[in-house]
């Protein structure tokens, strides 16, 4: 972080991302991994994953349970599973710790280890270097990154603000992220064209809890560049930059902790976003 605020900010605004190697120490990464191990060891399987369903009506109830579990996770710590890891009774078919795809979305508020990382002096200093005046934390996730690829997307599709350009992702590698185990790929400069698609809460009574409005453009694979990063590295992600990750073709895991910040000054958070602040958890200030 030796660079001046101006250098940090201009590089970020040119590319739509910024790589800061060795931002967090190995100890800080290990403390997050250990904390998550403990949480997974103690987790309960959510009710909508447990019962054997047969009729169409019960299947619908299950889907509704699953969507409610997601939609109301903004102010809780919840576990999201890979497909096919639980039998219909909710028993694990593979080791428990390999069954979880991610944990979210309020680790930054309710877990002491992740809260400390999110609000660490280094992060607050970086926010100030980027010129953030009233940053608030909107969500956080621990991502296990098993096999699956993540298709090209823009974070603002899911976290929409008026005006755009107010969402910033902090992506922390808790283990080395390489091309083999699924590092992130970006299209440099792709954050300047706005967004073409939004995920919004569906009207009540709809069959799904969210729906997409607009269309996904076809991206040219050749435009993406990989950003491998060592354990402890931080990638800053502009809300509109196009990024993806390829499947993890290695034997190694690729754990990451990520959180999103919004510049709240002069910004409106969309009422149609899946994630909404609640009386229990208004978006907390990044600066403490």
- Secondary structure of residue 13 in the 3-state scheme: helix
13-23 CB burial, b ≥16 within 10 A, e <16: eebbbbbbeeb
Q: Which residues contact 77 (CB under 8 A, 6 or more apart)?
A: 39, 103, 104, 106, 107, 110, 111
Tell me how far the alpha carbon of residue 199 is from its chain's centroid.
15
What is the number of alpha carbons within 13 Å of residue 273 lying toward its C-beta? 20
CA distances 40 to 37, 67, 171, 211, 285, Å, are: 5, 21, 21, 30, 28
What interhelical angle do 5-15 and 121-129 show, nearest 10? Answer: 70
Specify the residue for token string 């919840």: 78
Distance CA 228, CA 185 (A): 8
- From first to last of its 288 residues, the chain has per-residue pLDDT tens of 567 788 889 999 999 999 999 999 999 999 999 999 999 999 999 988 887 767 888 888 888 889 999 999 999 999 999 888 998 888 999 998 889 999 999 999 999 999 999 999 999 999 999 999 999 999 999 999 777 789 999 999 999 999 999 999 999 999 999 999 999 999 999 999 999 999 999 887 777 889 999 998 999 999 999 999 999 999 999 999 999 999 898 988 899 999 999 999 999 999 999 999 999 999 999 999
Distance CA 107, CA 167 (A): 18
- Integer Rg of the chain from CA: 19
Looking at residue 2, its pLDDT comes to 62
Angle at 235 (CA atoms; ends 232, 241), nearest 5 degrees: 165
Distance CA 192, CA 62 (A): 40
Residue 137 bridge partners (DSSP): 261
**CATH number given to 3-269:** 2.60.120.620
Structure token pair of residue 282: 């208004």
Structure token pair of residue 135: 């940053």
Do residues 37 and 43 touch, judged by C-beta distance below 8 A? no
Looking at residue 1, its pLDDT comes to 53
Distance CA 288, CA 109 (A): 13
Distance CA 174, CA 172 (A): 6
Peptide bond into 163 cis (omega under 30): yes
Distance CA 164, CA 138 (A): 15
If we measure between CA atoms, which residue out of 196, 134, 136 comes closest to residue 164? 196
The region, left, alpha or beta by phi > 0 then psi within -120 to 50, assigned to residue 112 is alpha
Distance CA 257, CA 125 (A): 19
């Amino acid at each position: 972080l030796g660079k001046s605020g101006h250098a940090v900010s201009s590089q970020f605004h040119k590319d739509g991302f910024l790589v800061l190697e060795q931002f967090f120490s190995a100890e800080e990464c290990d403390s997050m991994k250990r904390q998550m191990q403990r949480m997974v060891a103690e987790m309960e399987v959510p009710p909508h994953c447990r019962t054997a369903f047969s009729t169409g009506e019960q299947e619908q109830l299950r889907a509704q349970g699953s969507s409610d579990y997601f939609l109301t996770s903004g102010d809780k710590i919840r576990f999201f599973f890979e497909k096919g890891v639980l039998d219909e009774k909710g028993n694990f078919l593979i080791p428990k710790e390999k069954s979880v795809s991610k944990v979210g979305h309020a680790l930054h508020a309710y877990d002491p280890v992740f809260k400390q990382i999110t609000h660490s002096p280094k992060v607050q200093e970086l926010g100030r270097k980027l010129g953030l005046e009233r940053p608030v934390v909107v969500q956080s996730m621990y991502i296990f990154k098993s096999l699956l690829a993540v298709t090209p997307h823009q974070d603002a599709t899911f976290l929409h603000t008026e005006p755009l350009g107010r969402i910033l992702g902090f992506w922390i590698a808790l283990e080395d992220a390489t091309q083999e185990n699924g590092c992130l790929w970006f299209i440099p400069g792709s954050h300047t064209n706005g967004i073409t698609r939004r995920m919004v809460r569906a009207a009540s009574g709809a069959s799904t809890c969210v729906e997409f409005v607009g269309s996904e453009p076809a991206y040219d694979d050749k435009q993406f560049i990989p950003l491998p990063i060592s354990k402890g590295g931080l990638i800053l992600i502009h809300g509109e930059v196009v990024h993806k990750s390829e499947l993890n073709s290695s034997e190694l895991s690729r754990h990451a902790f990520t959180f999103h910040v919004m510049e709240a000054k002069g910004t409106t958070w969309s009422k149609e976003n899946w994630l909404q602040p609640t009386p229990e958890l208004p978006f907390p200030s990044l600066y403490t």
